[in-house]
Amino acid sequence: MHDVVSGTLRETVRLYVVVMTLFGTGILLALYSGTGLTAPNPPLAPHSYAASANPEHDETAPASILSAIEENASSPLSRLFLQIAVIVGASWAVGCVFRSFGQPAVLGEMMAGILLGPSLFGLFAPHAFNFVFAPSSLDTLRLFSQIGVCFFMFAVGMELDLSRLRHSAHRSLVIGHSSILIPYFLGVLLAIPLYHIYAQPGASYAAFALIMGIAMSITAFPVLVRILQDRDLFKTKLGGIATLCAAVGDATAWCILAFVIAVARATDFRTASFALALVGIYAVLMLFVVRPVLQKRMRGSLLREIEPSRGVLALSFGVVLVSALCTELMGIHALFGAFVAGVVMPAGGGFRKKLIVRIEHFSSVLLLPIFFAFIGLRTQIGLLSGARDWLICLMIIFVATVGKLGGTAVVSRMLKMPWRESLQLGALMNTRGLMELIVLNIGYDMGILSIRIFTMLVLMALVTTFMTGPLVDLFRGRRASSG
C-alpha cells in the first residue's frame, strides 16, 4: 500500500516538473524571440516615455514615480475606492461615538456626512477635500447614493405591514394623519415669508410650500423603531401605537410626496393629472396583480427554504429594479417605486425579515453612508453667516417640533391617552432622520430648495432626531401629569 502511494506521489511530482519546465521554458523562449521585434509607430502626440528612460533624466525618477502614483490615484476607479474608504471609515467611527452616548448609530452616520463636507473637512483641509471629493467625481458618487437609498426604501416598504394597517385601531389612523397634516399646515404657512428669500430662482410657490410641508411632517419610521428597541418600548402598548402611527404617517407622506413631485415636474395641469393617473394605475397593478403573483410564485420556496434561494432573491431584486424604473419613467421618483416594491413583497415564512437583514447589512454599511456624505457635500453651514439666517433656522426647528411633537401629543390627549404617553408619542413622531434627508435631496435636485434653506432643513433633521431619545426618557419620567 505504501509503495502504491509513493508511486502515485512520484508520478504527480514528475508531471508537475514536466509541465512547469515545458511551459516555463516556452514562455522564456517566446519572450526572448520577441526582443528583436520593431516597436510600433508612436502616436501623433507622443508621450515622453523615451525621455524618462534616458540616463540624463535618472535624477527625476523618484518624482516620476510620485507623479505616476498621483495620476493613478486620480483615476475614476481609484478615486471612488478612496471616497468609499473615507466615508465608511468616518461613518463607522462617528456612529460608534454616538452609540456610546445612547443615540442611534444612523444619527452618527448622518453627522459624519456633514463632517466630511465643506462645513468641516473642506474648511480645514481644502486641498485634501478637493482631491478626495473632486467635483468631476461626484456624479458617480451621486448614483451610488441613489441606489443605496432605493434599497433602503425597499426595506422600509417591507417593514410596513399592510395587514396591521388594515386592521389597526381608528385611534392610530387619526393620530397618524394628524401628525402629518398639522406640521404640514405649519410648513406651508412658514413657506409664505421664506419663499422669496430661500426658494431657488424659477421655483413656484406651490412646489416650495409643498416641499416645506413634507419636510416638516415626515417621520423616520426605521429610526423610530430602533429607538423603541433601544429603550425596551417596542413591545409595549406605546410602542405598538407609535409604530402603527408612524407607518400610517409614512404611507401617507410618501403618497403626498408622489403628488408633490408630479405637480412640481409637470409643465401644466394636464401633465400633472396624467402623471398622477399613471401612478394610481401603477399602485393598483402592484397591489392587486403583482403582489398575488409574487405570493403564488414564492410560496413553495418560502415554505421549504430556511433561507431565500438565489432564484427568489434574483426575482425580488428584479421587482425592485423594474418598479423603481417604472416610477422614474412616470416622472415621480425611483424611490417611490422601490418603496412600493417592498410593500408588495410576500410576508410568509419570515421572508421579509430574512431579506431585510441581507439588504441592511449591505446598504447600511456601504451605500447609505455614501448618501449621507453626498448630503454633507451639499450642506454648507458657512453660508448661514448672518443673524437672520440663524434665527430663521431656529424658527424652522421650533415650528417643526411644535407641529410634530405638539400636534401629535394634543391629538393623542384628546383621544384619552395619558399626557405622559402622549408626549412620548409626540417625541417619537418628531424624529426625522434619513427620511427627511431623502425628501430634502429630492427638493434640491428638482430646483425647488436653495442651498441655504437646504442646509437649514438638514440641521433641523439632525436636531429633531437627536432630541428624540432624551425627550422620550424625560417624558417617561414624568408621572405627575400622567392622568
- 8 A C-beta contact, residue 420 and residue 478: yes
* Predicted confidence (pLDDT) per residue in 388-429, tens digit: 999 999 999 999 999 999 999 999 999 888 999 899 999 999
Q: Is the pLDDT of residue 69 over 80?
A: no
Give this prediction's pTM: 0.74
pLDDT given at position 464: 92
Q: Is the pLDDT of residue 483 over 50?
A: no
Say if 233 falls within a structural domain: yes
Q: Does residue 45 lie in a domain region?
A: no
Instruction: Compute the residue count for the chain.
Output: 483
pLDDT for 103-113, tens place per residue? 878 888 888 98
Residue 442 has pLDDT above 80, yes or no: yes
Question: Residue 366 burial (CB < 10 Å; 0-12/13-18/19+)?
Answer: middle
Task: Give me the chain's average pLDDT, please.
Answer: 81
CATH number of the domain bearing residue 285: 1.20.1530.20
pLDDT in tens, 182-238: 999 999 999 999 999 899 988 888 889 989 998 998 887 777 877 787 777 877 888
- The band of 51, judged by pLDDT with boundaries at 50, 70 and 90, is very low
User: Total structural domains in the chain?
Assistant: 1
| Domain boundaries, position 185 | 105-476
Within a domain: residue 81? no
- Better-predicted residue by pLDDT, 311 or 82: 82
**CB-based contacts of 183: which residues, under 8 Å, 6+ apart?**
213, 216, 217, 399, 400, 403, 404, 407
297 belongs to a structural domain? yes
In 140-299 the beta strands, taken as DSSP E runs, fall at none
Mean pLDDT check: name the lowest of 10-14, 159-163, 468-472: 159-163
For residue 455, is pLDDT > 60? yes
Q: Using 50, 70 and 90 to split pLDDT, how confident is the model at 89? A: very high
- Confidence band for 90, pLDDT divided at 50, 70 and 90: very high
Cβ-contact 351, 126 below 8 angstroms: no
Which tens digits make up the pLDDT trace of 226-277? 778 777 787 788 888 888 888 777 777 777 887 778 777 766 667 777 777 8
Scanning 125-169, the segments in alpha helix (DSSP H) are 126-132, 138-159, 162-166
Q: Is the pLDDT of residue 360 over 70?
A: yes
Instruction: Flag whether 283 is in a domain.
Output: yes
Q: Report how far residue 447's alpha carbon sits from residue 443's, in angstroms, rounded to the nearest whole number.
A: 7
So what's the pLDDT on residue 3?
Answer: 65
Q: Is residue 127 part of a domain?
A: yes
Helix pair 105-115, 433-445: axis angle to 10 deg: 40
Residue 71 CA to residue 335 CA, distance in Å, equals 36
How far CA 174 is from CA of 177, 181, 433, in Å, comes to 5, 10, 23
Instruction: Give residue 102's region: left, alpha or beta (phi > 0; psi -120 to 50).
Output: left
Cα angle: 95, vertex 99, 105; to 5 degrees: 45
Among 396, 456, 475, 400, which residue's Cα sits nearest to residue 430?
A: 400
Residue 35 lies inside a defined structural domain of this protein: no
Q: What is the CA radius of gyration of the chain?
A: 29
- Measured from the Cβ of residue 476, the count of other Cβ atoms closer than 10 Å reads 16
Q: How confident is the model at residue 450 (pLDDT cuts 50, 70, 90)?
A: very high
Q: Are 154 and 359 in contact (CB under 8 A)?
A: yes
Considering the domain boundaries, does residue 59 fall inside one? no
CA distance 199 to 203: 6
Q: How far apart are CA 165 and CA 367, in angstroms?
A: 30
CB 453 within 8 A of CB 211: no
Strand partners for 199: 449
pLDDT digits (tens, 9 = 90+) for 21-37: 887 787 777 767 766 66
| Mean local confidence (pLDDT), 290-308 | 75
Q: SS3 of 199, please?
A: strand
